[in-house]
Amino acid sequence: MPDTAHQEYDLLSVQNEDFDVAYEYAQLRENNSQDGAIVFFSGLVRDFNQGNDVTGLFLEHYPAMTEKALEKIIVQAKERWPINRVRLIHRVGQLYLSDQIVFVGVSSSHREAAFEACHFIMDYLKKQAPFWKKETTKKGDWWVESLEKDQKALDKWQKDE
């Protein structure tokens, strides 16, 4: 049962700008005495990936498709778990070491639902949203390879059904 009082707090944004986790958390909490659980995930540019010393990365995406793909994932999560607010931000463009890449925050009355929905959204985003990372390393720039384990992470949610 989606609650319209929560919808104005939902967010889906694909942006160049950085985001502020404190603000996002506040938006999940504000006027929300109904939800006892907030789970969030934040993804950062790390220094070591697939055997390389990373100094930064460029995030390409498919502008006409990105938000549509992310919206679908959020709709699936809302159909599957009793969650109320979802805030999802994914950055694109040039990023540097330790920069924030992605934020997914979920509020729910139920701890289990908040954990699972947040995890589900990240797993699906990794495999179904049109983003591509090109890493800058001291040895040159290259495109990040898609990982087998990310497909396995997705399969897990299908087995659960």
Partner 1 sequence: MINIVFFAQLREQLKCDQLKLDIPTPCKVSDVQQAIVNENPQWAQYLTDRALMCAVNQDMVQSDTMVNAGSEVAFFPPVTGG
Contacts to partner 1 by CB under 8 A: 43, 59-62, 64-65, 68-69, 90, 101-102, 111, 122, 125-134, 143-146
Q: Which two tokens stand for residue 64?
A: 């006409």
Residue 37 within binding range of its own copies, rule CB under 8 A: yes
Instruction: By CB under 8 A, name the one of 79, 98, 139, 145 that touches its own copies.
Output: 98
DSSP state of 145: P
- From the list 7-15, 25-33, 77-85, 138-146, the region that binds its own copies by CB under 8 A is 25-33
Distance CA 40, CA 103 (A): 7
Measured in residues, the chain has a length of 161
Binding test (CB under 8 A) with its own copies, winner from 13, 29, 127, 132? 29
Task: Enter the tokens of residue 113.
Answer: 């639902």
Residue with tokens 């889906």: 12
155 near its own copies (CB under 8 A): no
Min separation Cβ 60 and its own copies, Å: 19
CB of 33 to partner 1, least distance (A): 18
What would the two tokens of residue 21 be?
């986790």
Return the number of other C-beta atoms located less than 10 Å from residue 13's C-beta.
14
Among 11, 92, 144, 153, binds its own copies (CB under 8 A): 153
Could you give the 3-state DSSP secondary structure of residue 75? helix
**Rounded to the nearest whole angstrom, what is the least distance from the CB of residue 4 to partner 1 in the complex?**
27
Residue type, 89: I
Dihedral (Cα; 77, 78, 82, 86), 10-degree rounding? 90
Report the interface residues with its own copies, using CB under 8 A.
21-22, 25, 29, 32-49, 97-98, 109, 111-112, 114-115, 118-119, 122, 126, 149, 153
